[in-house]
Structure 1
Amino acid sequence: MTRLIFRAYRPSDAGAVSQLFREVYGDHYVQPDVYLPNMISQHHAAGRWQSMLAVDDARVLGHAALCCDTLSNTAELALSVVHPAAQGQSIATRLGRELLRQSGSLGLTSVSIKQVTHHPYTQRMAEKIGFHSTGLLPDYVPSPFAEPLPETIVMGCRMVEGCEHPLPDIPWPERYRALMKHLCSVFGTRQAIASRSEMPLQIKQHQHRFDIVIPRLNRHLLQQLSQLPRQWAICARLELSRHFTRDLRSFSALGFAFTGLMPTPGGNGWFALFHRGVQSRPLNLNCPHMQQLHDDLQHNANATIGHRCADAPIGARSAA
């Protein structure tokens, strides 16, 4: 077997990196930039991507990158791919570990990861190199494996040594107390204070899903959310606050399921995630806390389908 070399990306690697993604994923990878070597070069030249490669004498066999937002102190460990001929050598783990080792010198405070659920390997790798799963993003992107259902993602977060990202020190609902106790032990806690968030209310459509960002929930906004079309698949990201238990009840009354937490961009806060209108599917997840969230989500989805069928006219029920 040819000895592998692990090294940093070079400008001359763009074409080989693009070819690696084509060989592994065909036309189905969810980040279209990898299909244009010029885009790969552009991201590296601008400092948005910091990549590590695994190469032999002939070709690039593995790739992973830290993807950074402009003027942000956080990054995502992403674009991880290993050629089938080189699998079984812990290449993704070694690339990820090296990039995390560099994260402090890049001025980062935390690194996130989106773990696919079609197979268990990304989840196992993320846990092995120190990520902690915090929440689910159901039906998040088209499947990179050419599957009919969209890919559900497990969000993971890892703090750079010496940095913190505490959760508010508040009472947690009994159903999610074990999850929150675990996350508080990992990320720490701080006194819960009134939010001074400057994030605006946002709503955007991403293919089949509507993403809503909510800095704070009030009675008027809750009424408007209740009037959104019932057939919409919605991901709501609500800034986590001392009102979480009340907000959880409000969203549950609208048919949403709680699916965990994710860090807010460019700050030290957290989003509470709520989803409605997801597709029914079985998943076996590596993290027991994420498995509980998925099981609750599926129960909620099946109950919603049942209510829709019960509310439908008799003729429509027969047609279904």
Structure 2
Amino acid sequence: MADGRFRLVPVGPDNVALVGEVFRAVYGEGYVDPVVYRPESLLKKIAQGQLAGLLALDPAGRPAGYVALGSTAPNHSLWEEKGLIVVPGYSKTDAGTALACHFGDRAVWPAGVDGVFASAVCHHYFSQVICAKAGWVVSAVQLDLFDAAILSDRPEDVDRISCSLFFSPMPPAAVPCYWPAAYFDVMAALAEERNDPPGAISAAQLPVTVTTDLEVIPLPTSDSMKVNVFRVGGDWAAAVERLVAEARRRRALSVQLFIDTACPSIGEAVRVLRARGFFFGGLAPRWFGSDGLLMQQVFANTRYDLIRLYPDTAAKLLAFIRADRLAVGQERG
């Protein structure tokens, strides 16, 4: 496949070592996912159907950039576009646009993938504009997600990088979704942007005889934690206390928690989370097969003035998130 002066080629045994060259040119050895520096590990992920990588090569065969799709969500039919980078010296060419647009084409997705999402950085517009032009919809904003020090193009006064989550069009969830009453309007607006039906208001209490089922994914190189909540149980309050304690022990600056909206008691679960400092982050369509509600807690002073958002719906979402964060703080005193 060719695009102008660049060839776009899948990552395989003959060129996998070039992936590390691309990342070293931009991040040195400091990229948050060390697998990009390990050719054998990359090839293993590709062979196991967990990753699809793409390189942009110039006419001399030198690597100009890289992008990948990877299985990172609990729903293995929803993959993440990740690792889009361009080698310095090619930043003013069309290499980045060609790579970004490639996986916007459903026809090139791996077999079994029916949706794609991307974490678009919020210190510039480029990746957000590319996602929007591909027809993907911004559904969440993750505050202070990782350390800006790993980025070569960061403004000098940016310490933490926030990201917008964009999701491609997908078939509707196959199971009923429940929404907390406190967030019904904002979630309805996000769903409407995607032409998805609204959920039902959650009115159920925590199930006393059920145990919470979740996974914690520490991301130490970015000073953050990701949490996937598959089931909310009667022990939910204690589980949240342990999560907050774990975040503080790890000195995480950002905790991103996804709850399955198939849980009928999600409204009560959110009440407990808010009491422990969590606030709204957005909607994660088909995160679990059913949708995910993103709640987040940030142990940092967010520089909102340095966040750049596209399109206008993303700015409106951030305004709601800021207001909810303030309200949570006031409710906790």
- Could you tell me the TM-score, scaled by structure 1's length? 0.76
Which whole-Å deviations, capped at 9, do the CAs of 1:197-222 have from their partners, x for residues lacking one? Answer: 99823345443445443345466523
CA distance 1:171–1:15, change in 2 (3 Å):
closer
Which letter maps to 2:274? S
CA distance 1:17–1:172, change in 2 (3 Å):
same
Q: Residue 215 of structure 2: which of 190, 195, 202 is its match?
A: 202
The answer to whether the 8 A contact 1:117-1:154 is kept is: yes
CA distance in 1, matches of 2:328, 2:51: 41
The answer to whether the 8 A contact 1:170-1:242 is kept is: yes
Query: Structure 1 stretches (4+) deviating beyond 6 angstroms?
Result: 169-172, 193-199, 302-308
Give 3-state SS (helix, strand or coil) of 1:127's partner: helix
CA deviation after TM superposition for structure 1 residue 110, in Å: 0.7
CA distance in 1, matches of 2:186, 2:280: 14
CA distance in 1, matches of 2:145, 2:84: 18
Partner of 2:113: 108
Partner of 1:41: 43
Is residue 2:194 matched to residue 1:186? yes
The answer to whether the 8 A contact 1:204-1:210 is kept is: yes
Partner of 2:98: 94
Give 3-state SS (helix, strand or coil) of 1:75's partner: strand
Is residue 2:292 matched to residue 1:284? no
Q: Residue 16 of structure 1: which of 15, 18, 29 is its match?
A: 18
CA distance in 2, matches of 1:188, 1:291: 21
Which whole-Å deviations, capped at 9, do the CAs of 1:80-129 have from their partners, x for residues lacking one? Answer: 11123222444333223333333456221111111122322111111122
CA distance in 2, matches of 1:215, 1:155: 20
CA distance in 1, matches of 2:233, 2:41: 42
CA distance in 2, matches of 1:7, 1:55: 8
CA distance in 2, matches of 1:231, 1:21: 29
In the TM superposition, 1:98-177 aligns within 5 A as 98-99=102-103, 100-103=105-108, 106-143=111-148, 144-145=150-151, 149-159=159-169, 163-165=171-173, 168=176, 177=185
Runs of 5+ consecutive residues of structure 2 not aligned to the other structure: none
Equivalent pairs, count: 305
Give 3-state SS (helix, strand or coil) of 1:43's partner: helix
Give 3-state SS (helix, strand or coil) of 1:84's partner: coil
CA deviation after TM superposition for structure 1 residue 176, in Å: 6.1
Task: Choose 21-30 or 182-191, whichever is displaced more.
Answer: 182-191
Identity of aligned residues (%): 19
Which whole-Å deviations, capped at 9, do the CAs of 1:228-268 have from their partners, x for residues lacking one? Answer: 55983543322225555554444333332111122455x42
CA distance 1:39–1:187, change in 2 (3 Å):
farther
CA distance in 1, matches of 2:290, 2:211: 12
Greater Rg, structure 1 or structure 2? 1
Partner of 1:225: 240
Partner of 2:81: 77
The answer to whether the 8 A contact 1:231-1:277 is kept is: no
CA distance in 2, matches of 1:302, 1:177: 18
Task: Choose 59-68 or 255-264, whichever is displaced more.
Answer: 255-264
Give 3-state SS (helix, strand or coil) of 1:11's partner: coil
Give 3-state SS (helix, strand or coil) of 1:53's partner: strand
CA RMSD of aligned residues (A): 4.0
CA distance 1:205–1:34, change in 2 (3 Å):
closer
- Could you tell me the TM-score, scaled by structure 2's length? 0.73
Give 3-state SS (helix, strand or coil) of 1:115's partner: strand
CA distance 1:288–1:257, change in 2 (3 Å):
farther
Task: Choose 284-293 or 105-114, whichever is displaced more.
Answer: 284-293
CA distance 1:217–1:87, change in 2 (3 Å):
same
Runs of 5+ consecutive residues of structure 1 not aligned to the other structure: 312-320
